[in-house]
Chain A
Amino acid sequence: MADLSTNFIGIKSPNPFWLASAPPTDKEYNVVRAFKAGWGGVVWKTLGEDPAVVNVNGPRYGAIHGRDRNLIGFNNIELITDRPLEVNLREIKQVKRDWSDRAMVVSLMVPCEEQSWIDILKKVEDTEADGIELNFGCPHGMSERGMGSAVGQVPEYIEMVTRWCKQHSRMPVIVKLTPNITDIRKPAQAAKAGGADAVSLINTINSIVSVDLDQMAPEPTIDGRGAHGGYCGPAVKPIALNMVAEIARDPETHGLPISGIGGVTTWKDAAEFMALGAGTVQVCTAAMTYGFKIVEEMKDGLSDWMDEKGYTSVDQVVGRAVPNVTDWQQLNLNYVVKAQIDQDACIKCGRCHIACEDTSHQAITSMKDGLRHFEVIDEECVGCNLCVSVCPVEDCISMVQMTEGTDPRTGKKIEPDYANWTTHPNNPNRVMEAAE
C-alpha cells in the first residue's frame, strides 16, 4: 500500500488532503468532524482583527449547475470568519491538542501594518498551530478594505508582509495567491523573495455567476443588487492547474513548495495537481457539495492508483509532470497524428462531422455509398482533436501517430526527428544552426 503521509514544509499530515480555509474550517465542530472523517489537515478559516467582520444576511452563494443539478462552478461572497478572534484561537488550540497528527494551518488576514501582523502572529503561535497561511487571495469584500486580493495583486506588498511574518514568527509561512492577476509568477516570486516557505493557489476568481433576468441583477441577489464573488469548484481546475505549473516550472520559483487548490473533487484531480508540483491539495467546494465523506474516495483512489503505478510515496508523484510542461515553441512540429474513428463504437450521431465541417477542416465524411457514415479524410485532417472532444462515445475516436510515409495532407515525408518552431524556416526569428 502506498504511503500517503506528507511532510509539507515541516508540517506533517497522514495524507495530502487538506480542507482549504473556508466555511468548512470555521469552527471546532466542523473541523473535528472533518478529522473524524479522515482529512489530513485543515487551513482554519481566515482570522482577522476584532471586532469581527459581519456577513450579509442574504444569500452568500451562487452556482453553475449541470442539467441534473450537478455543481460545476460555485461562487461566494462570504468574508473571513465572523466569530470573535479569541473563540477561534481557543478552538484551534483545543483541536490541535486533540488531533496532533493532523496538519493545523491558520489562515490570516489583517491590515498591511506591521504591528497588526505582530499582534496576531503572537496569538496564533500560542495555539501551537503548525503554520500560517497568508490570505492574499480573497477577491470580494475584504479586498475593498485593502486586504485579501488587494495585497495579492501587488507583489511588493506580498513580499513585505511575508517578510514581516517570517521575521516575527517561528511558524512556517504559506502565501495564498490570488488568480486575479495577469502573471501568476510575479506574486509567487515576491512571496519567495519575502521568505515564504510555500505558496498555495488558487484562491477564488472574480466572478458573476449568473444574472437574475427578472430582477436584472447579479446572483446571488441581495435586496435587488449583487456584487461580484469568488469563483471556485470543478470549473476552475484548469486555470488552477496552469498557475500551479507556471510556478513549478519557473526557474525563479522552481522547487518552492506548493499547496494546490482549485476544484479538487476526486483523487484524480489531486494526482494531477501533485504531478504538476503540489505537495498537498486543499479542498473546499467538493466538501461543501457532498460532505466530508468524499475524502475516503480521494485517499483510496490515490492510493490504489499509486499502487498500480508502483509509486510508494507521495514524494514520487509530486512534480513528476513538471518537466513535460513546456512552451508552445518547444513542441515537436514533426509529430503528426490523424484522427481515427472506431466504426464499431461509432453511434453515428454525426457531431464529429458537423463540428469539423462547420468550424474546422472538412475532414470527416457524413456519407459513404449513400449511407450515413463518418470517416476521417486523412488528406484534410490536421489532427486537431476537436472530433475527439465532441464525440459522446469515449474512446471512439483516437488520434493515431503517423510514424512513416508521407502526410497525405501536406505531402511531406514523416520526419522521425524532433523539430520545433525555434528552428522552423517560417520563423523569422529562427535560431540558425551554428556553422561547423
Chain B
Amino acid sequence: MADALPGPDIRTGRLSPDDYLENFDDLHPPLGTHEASVEADRCYFCYDAPCTIACPTSIDIPKFIRQISTGNPVGSAKTIFAENILGGMCARVCPTETLCEEACVRNLAEDKPVQIGLLQRYATDTYLERPDRHPYSRAASTGKTVAIVGGGPAGLSCAHALACEGHDVTIFDAREKLGGLNEYGIAAYKTTNDFAQTEVDFVLSIGGIDVQCGKALGRDITLAGLRKEFDAVFLGMGLPGVNALRAEGEDLNGVIDAVAYIAELRQAKDLAKLPVGRKVVVIGGGMTAIDIAVQAKRLGAEEVTIAYRRDRDAMKASAYEQEVALTNGVVIREWFQPKRLLGEGGHVAGIELERTAQDASGRLSGTGETVTLEADQVFKAIGQTFVPDALGGAEALSLDSGRINVDDDRRTSVAGVWAGGDCIAGGEDLTVAAVEDGKVAARSIHAALSA
C-alpha cells in the first residue's frame, strides 16, 4: 500500500504496477518493418536535402531512408553511424520537429513530414539487435593517448572516433555509469529498456577505450595532471551545477532540483518506490521542465503546473514538447515567476507566483500581482551551469558566459585541450550537437596527434 507521509501529500506507489509499465513505455512506439517501408517510401530523396542540412551531425538522411526502403536496414544504420555513432539515442531524443523533420519538404506539401526520427530508430535498432557487430574496426595502435573527461554524448562520440583511428582513449566519468544525460537525464519513456547502456556497450565495442567511472575532475583527477599524462584532453563534462531560484523558502523540504530527481527516476529499479506529490509545480520552460512535469504526471501526480516567466513562444522546449506536456494533462501558466515558497513545518506547501510583464525593450519585470498555488513538491528546472572550479585555478581556460570557449575545431584556449557538449559556450544543449562536437574535436585531435 502507499505510504502516507505526514503533512504534504507525497507518496510512493500511486499507481498500479501495470500503470507504471504503460506510463513509462516508449512514448513513440517503434515502427515495424512494413510501417518503416511505407514511411520510407514517403521520402522524396531530395537534392541537397534540407533534412541533412538541418541535422547537426549532417546524417545523409535521404540515403539512409532509401536503404530502408530497399530492405537494407543494416546498411542504413551504417550510413547513420558514419556521421553519428549515437544515432540510436538521437533517433529517440532529438527534437526532430525543430531539426530534420522541420526541414522536410513534405511540410510544404501536406504539413506532415517524413518521420525521420522513427525511421532512424528502425534502422539503428535493427543494427543493434545483434550486439556482436560493429560497423568499424580499429586502426593499428598509434601509441598516442587521449583523456576524455565525461562519458556523455560528446565524450562517447569523441572517444569512438579516436579509438577508430588507433589512439588509446581513457574516459573519466564522475558517475557510476557512462552515458551522461542519456543515462541520467533523458525522460524515461524516451529511452526504454536500458537503451543508453546498450548504446554505450556498442560504442565501446570498437575497443581501445578504457573506462574510469567514479572519477570526477577536480576531485580525483586534475586537468593539469591529465595534460601531463596524456597526449590530448577532451572536456565533455556537461553542466553539473544548477541555477538557484533565488526566492524565499528555496531550502524547504520538497523543493527539488529537477535534474537530480530525473536522475533518480532513471536509475530507479522500481518506479513505485519513487515518492511524488499530489500537487506539483515546476518552475522553468526548457526540456527539463517538460520532462519533469510529464514524468511527475505519469508517476501519478494529480495536478502538475509549469510556471514560466515568459510566454510559450519563448520557452526553450519546442512547441511539440509543450504539446506532449499538455496532452499529458500538465497545465502551463505563462508570465509567472516564483516570488516565494510557502512552508509548513519545514516542508513546502505552496508557491507564490508573481505575474510578469515585458516592456518594449523585452525586459521582464514583476507586476506585483500574485497568485498562490498549493504544492506538495516544487521542481526547479531553471537551467544548469558549468562549474569552472573543477578545471583547477592554475589553468587559464578561457570562458564565455560561464562556459568554455572553443574554436570551430572545438579547441580550447589551452594547447592540447579540446571541449564539447553542453559545457562549451554557444552550444545548443542538444544530444545531437554534443555528438557533433565530439566528432569534430576527434577529427582535430587526430590531426594534431598525426602531425
Contact = CB atoms under 8 A, between A and B. Distances in A.
A240 B17 CA distance: 63
**Which secondary structure dominates chain A's binding surface?**
loop
A303 to B, nearest CB: 32
Contacts of B38: 67-68
**Which of under 10, 10 to 19, 20 to 34, or 35 or more describes the interface residues of B?**
10 to 19
Contacts of A348: 46, 50, 105, 108
Contact of B105 (A66, A349, A354, A366): A349
Contact of B48 (A68, A347, A350): A350
A347 B47 contact: no
Interface string A61-79: 0000011110000000000
B50 A66 contact: no
B40 interface: yes
Given A347-B109, A348-B108, A392-B109, A366 B41 contact: no
B71 to A, nearest CB: 10
Interface string B108-124: 11000000000000000
A353 interface: yes
A351 B45 contact: yes
Contact of B44 (A67, A68, A392): A392
Contact of B37 (A67, A347, A354): A67
A288 interface: no
B69 interface: yes
A414 B162 CA distance: 64
Contacts of B443: none
B54 to A, nearest CB: 12
Interface in B45-77: 45-50, 69
A347 B106 contact: yes
Contact of B41 (A66, A349, A351, A393): A66
A200 to B, nearest CB: 35
A372 interface: yes
Interface string A264-285: 0000000000000000000000
A358 to B, nearest CB: 9
Contact of B47 (A67, A353, A393): A353
Nearest to A352: B47
Contact of A351 (B47, B50, B109): B47
B427 to A, nearest CB: 26
B106 A350 contact: no
A67 B109 contact: no
Contacts of B41: 66-68
A350 B105 CA distance: 10
Interface in B13-57: 34, 37-38, 40-41, 44-50
Nearest to B108: A347
A366 B49 CA distance: 12
Nearest to A396: B109
A354 B40 CA distance: 20
Nearest to B109: A347
Kindly name the residue among B50, B105, B108 whose own CB sees the greatest number of chain A CB atoms within 10 A: B105
Given A67-B37, A347-B106, A347-B108, A372 B50 contact: yes
A28 to B, nearest CB: 38
B109 A393 contact: yes
A354 B47 contact: yes
Contacts of A349: 44, 46-47, 105
B343 to A, nearest CB: 57
B69 A350 contact: no
Interface in A316-374: 347-351, 353-354, 366, 372
Contacts of B46: 348-351
Contacts of B34: 69
B123 to A, nearest CB: 16
Interface string B159-201: 0000000000000000000000000000000000000000000
Contacts of A69: 34
Nearest to A68: B38
Kindly name the residue among A67, A353, A354, A393 whose own CB sees the greatest number of chain B CB atoms within 10 A: A67
Contacts of A67: 37-38, 40-41, 69
A351 B50 CA distance: 12
A351 B69 contact: no
Nearest to A353: B47
A354 B47 CA distance: 6
A366 B47 contact: yes
Nearest to B38: A68
A372 B106 CA distance: 15
A47 to B, nearest CB: 41
A396 to B, nearest CB: 9
Contacts of A68: 37-38, 41
A392 B42 CA distance: 10
Nearest to A358: B47
A49 B437 CA distance: 78
A347 B105 contact: yes
A407 to B, nearest CB: 27
Contacts of B40: 67
B72 to A, nearest CB: 13
Interface in A363-396: 366, 372, 392-393
Given A350-B48, A372-B50, A393-B109, 11 more contacts: A67-B37, A67-B69, A68-B38, A68-B41, A347-B108, A347-B109, A348-B50, A349-B105, A350-B49, A351-B45, A366-B47
Interface of B: 34, 37-38, 40-41, 44-50, 69, 105-106, 108-109
15 contacts: A66-B41, A67-B37, A67-B38, A67-B41, A67-B69, A347-B105, A347-B106, A347-B108, A348-B105, A348-B108, A349-B46, A349-B47, A351-B45, A351-B46, A392-B109
Interface of A: 66-69, 347-351, 353-354, 366, 372, 392-393
**Which are the 7 A-B pairs with shortest beta-carbon distances?**
A350-B47, A67-B41, A354-B47, A347-B108, A347-B105, A349-B46, A349-B44
